[in-house]
Amino acid sequence: MYLLGLTIAPSIIIIIYFINSDKYPEPKEKIIHAFLLGLAITIPAGIANDMLIHNWKGIGLSNAISMSFLSAAPVEEGLKFLMLTKFISKFKDYDEMVDGIVYCICLSLGFATLENFYYVYSLFDGSYQIAILRAFTAVPAHAMFGGMMGIFYSLHLAAKNNQDKKNYLTLALVIPIILHGFYNFFIEEFFILSIIIVIVGTIYVFKEFKKWNGKKSFKI
C-alpha cells in the first residue's frame, strides 16, 4: 500500500497544487480527461521507444544518444503534443492563457503515473528506492515538460499574426523535446545537470503561471 502511494502520490500532489492555485479552476471532468489522455499514450510510447532503440542499436548509435534524443523525448513529447492539439485544444474551457499550463501538466502527469508503475513494479520489482527517486526526478520533470508545452501552446493561441502562431506552435513541441532529451542524456552520468534542468524549467513554468493566473482571456 505504501509503495502504491509513493508511485501515485507525486503526480496527484502536483495536479492538486495547480488546480487549487488556479484562480478560475478548470472543470474536474476536463482535468480527468487530460490525465486519462496521458495514461492512454503510455503503452504506445513504450512500444515506439523499444522499436526505435532497437533500430538505432542496429546502426551502431550509442544508448545515451538513442535513448535520449532519438526515442523517448520525441516519442513521448510528440504523443503529448498530439493529444494537446487533437483533444485538449478543443476543450471549450481552454479559454485562458494559464489553462495551457494546467491541462498540459495533467496530461504529462497521466503519462508519468503509468510510466512510474512500469518502472517501480516491472523493471525494478517493487523498489521503494526507485519510487522515491522518481518522485523527485522523473515526475516533476514530466510536469515541467508539460508546463513548457502549455506555455508555448497558449502563446500560439494568443498570437496575432500567422508567423508568430507558427513559431510558438513549433516551440510548443521542440522545447519539451530538447529539455526531455537533455534530462535523459544527463540522468545517469551527470545527475546534477538533470536536476538543474528540472529546477530551472520549473521556475520558469511557475513564473508564467503566476503571471497569467487570473487573466480571463488570451490577452498576453
**How far, in Å, CA of 30 to CA of 33, rounded?**
5
Q: Is the pLDDT of residue 113 over 90?
A: yes
- What is the residue-averaged pLDDT of the chain? 94
**What is the reported pLDDT for 1?**
80
What pLDDT, in 10s, does the model give residues 198-214? 999 999 999 999 999 98
**What is the reported pLDDT for 66?**
84
**How far, in Å, CA of 202 to CA of 144, rounded?**
5
> Quick one: what percent of the chain has pLDDT higher than 70?
99
| Lookup: cell for 96 | 485562458
Report DSSP state, residue 90: G
Phi, psi of 9 (to 5 degrees): -55, -40
**What is the reported pLDDT for 219?**
58
| Lookup: cell for 205 | 513554468
Query: Which among 215, 213, 11 has a CA at the least distance from the CA of 110?
Result: 11
> Quick one: what percent of the chain has pLDDT higher than 90?
87
Phi, psi of 219 (to 5 degrees): -85, 125
**What is the reported pLDDT for 217?**
75
What pLDDT, in 10s, does the model give residues 16-71? 999 999 999 999 999 999 999 999 999 999 999 999 988 887 787 778 888 889 99
Q: Is the pLDDT of residue 220 over 60?
A: no
What's the rounded mean pLDDT across residues 165-182?
A: 98
What pLDDT, in 10s, does the model give residues 78-109? 999 999 999 999 999 999 999 999 999 999 99
Instruction: Please state, as a whole number, how many other Cβ atoms lie within 10 Å of the Cβ of residue 59.
Output: 7
Query: Which among 199, 200, 49, 213 has a CA at the least distance from the CA of 136?
Result: 199
Higher-pLDDT residue of 80 and 188 is 80
Q: pTM for this structure?
A: 0.95
